[in-house]
Amino acid sequence: MSKRLKNKIAIITGASKGIGKGIARVFAQEGAKLLLVARNEKDLLNTAKELQQYSADINIFSADISSNNDMKKMAAICFGKYGRIDILCQNAGIFPSRRITDMDETDWDHVHNTNLKGTFFSIKACLPVMQQQHYGRIVLISSITGPRVGNPGLAHYGASKAGMNGFMKTAALEFAEHNITINAVEPGNILTEGMAGLGEKYIHAQEQAIPLKKLGLPEDIGYATAFLASDEARYITGQSIIVDGGQILPEW
Ligand code: NAP
C-alpha cells in the first residue's frame, strides 16, 4: 500500500467487527495510528491483536456512541495519547429490521440514538481538537438505504442514514473555515457479522439483485473511506460515494 495515511491519528467507531474492522485494516495498512471504539472490549482486543501485523500503534476504547459522555472521553483519550485527532470515521451503527406497523417508539429511539445522535455526539466531541489544529477529516458510514432507496423493515434505519447525510451537508459548510472536511460513504450490501443476522434468504436475494453478483467486502468500504480520509481528498467536502456493486443503477 502507498501509506497515504502515514502517522495520521484516526478514531474508528464500530471498529471491532464488520465494516469498521475492514476500515481499520485498510487504515493500518496505510500507516495510520488507530483508536478503535466499540462497546464490547473483548471483541476490540481481538481485533487489535489481529491488526497488529499491519501497525504496532493500535489502541482500544470501550464506549457507546449514543452516550455523549463516552464520546467526550473517547476524544480526550485520543488527544491525551497522541495530542491530535486527524481523522474520525463514524461507522458504528445498527440495523434491526421491523416493519412500521410493528415499530414502536422504543425501536425508533434505539436506532436514532445510535446512528444519528451517535454521529452528532462523536463529531461534536472531536471538533474542538480538529478546530484547534486547523485540520480534520471526518468520514461517515451512511448507507444506500435511506439516502437512495427504501427497504421494508428499515424505515427507522433509512431515516437515520438520510439524517446523517443531511447533517453532513451543513456540517461541511460550518467546518470548512477550519480546514475540516466531512464526507460519507454509502455502502450497499456488505458481508459483515451484522448482515449475517438478516439471514441467508436476504443475503441470497441481494446477491441476485446486485449487478456485480456478489456482496461487497468490508475492505471495499475501507478503500473508499481511506481515500476520503487522505490528503488526496482535501478539496472534497459534503459529498458521498456509493459503494454498492451497482445495486441502485437498474431502471427495472
Ligand atoms: P456490524 O457487523 O453489526 O458491526 C457493528 C459495529 O458497531 C460493531 O463493532 C459494534 O460493536 C459497533 N457498535 C454497534 N452499536 C454501537 C454503539 N452504540 N456504540 C459503539 N459501537 C457500536 O455492522 P456492519 O454491517 O459492519 O455495519 C457498520 C456500519 O455500516 C453501520 O453504520 C451500518 O449502518 C453501515 N452499513 C452497513 C451495511 C452492510 O451491508 N453491512 C450496508 C450499509 C450501511 P459493539 O456491539 O461491541 O458495540
Residue 140 CA to residue 167 CA, distance in Å, equals: 10
Query: Which residues of the chain are under the pLDDT cut of 50?
Result: none
CB of residue 190 inside a 6 A radius of ligand 1: yes
User: Residue 1 Cα, ligand 1 centroid: separation in angstroms?
Assistant: 26
How much distance in Å is there from the Cα of 172 to the middle of ligand 1? 24
Q: What is the spatial distance between Cα 82 and Cα 110, in angstroms, rounded to a whole number?
A: 33
Indicate the top mutation candidate among 95, 110, 117 to test ligand 1's pocket, ranked by most ligand atoms within 8 A of CB. Answer: 95
The C-alpha cell at 11 is: 478514531
Q: Is 141 in the pocket of ligand 1 (CB under 6 A)?
A: yes
Of 162, 161, 138, 154, nearest to 233 (Cα)? 138
Residues across the chain:
252
> Cβ(66) to ligand 1 under 6 A?
yes
Q: What grid cell was written down for 89?
A: 470515521
Cα distance between residue 4 and residue 226, in whole Å: 8
32 vs 29, 82, 230, 231, 247, CA distance in Å? Answer: 8, 12, 10, 13, 31
As a whole number of Å, the end-to-end CA separation of the chain is: 39
pLDDT for position 1:
67
Q: Is the CB of 170 under 6 A from ligand 1?
A: no
**pLDDT tens digits for range 177-201:** 999 999 999 999 999 988 887 788 8
User: CA dist 232 to 10, 223, 241, Å?
Assistant: 16, 13, 15
- Residue with the smallest CA separation from ligand 1 atom 48 is 39
Q: Are 64 and 39 within 8 A, CB to CB? A: yes
Domain containing residue 109: 9-191+218-239
Contact 110, 213 (CB under 8 A): no
Active site residue 157: yes
Q: What is the pLDDT of residue 155?
A: 98
Query: Could you tell me if the CB of 65 is within 6 A of ligand 1?
Result: yes
Amino acid at 171: A
Asked if residue 203 is part of any domain, the answer here is: no
Cα separation, 20 vs 90, in Å, equals 9
Q: Which is catalytic among the residues 54, 135, 157, 202?
A: 157
Residue with cell 477550519: 178
Number of domains in the chain: 1
Set of cell numbers at residue 12? 474508528
d(C-alpha 136, C-alpha 229), whole Å: 9
The CA 91 to ligand 1 mean position distance, Å, reads: 7
CA of 177 to the centre of ligand 1 (A): 31
Q: What is the CATH number of the domain that holds 72?
A: 3.40.50.720
Residue 96 beta carbon below 6 angstroms from any ligand 1 atom = no
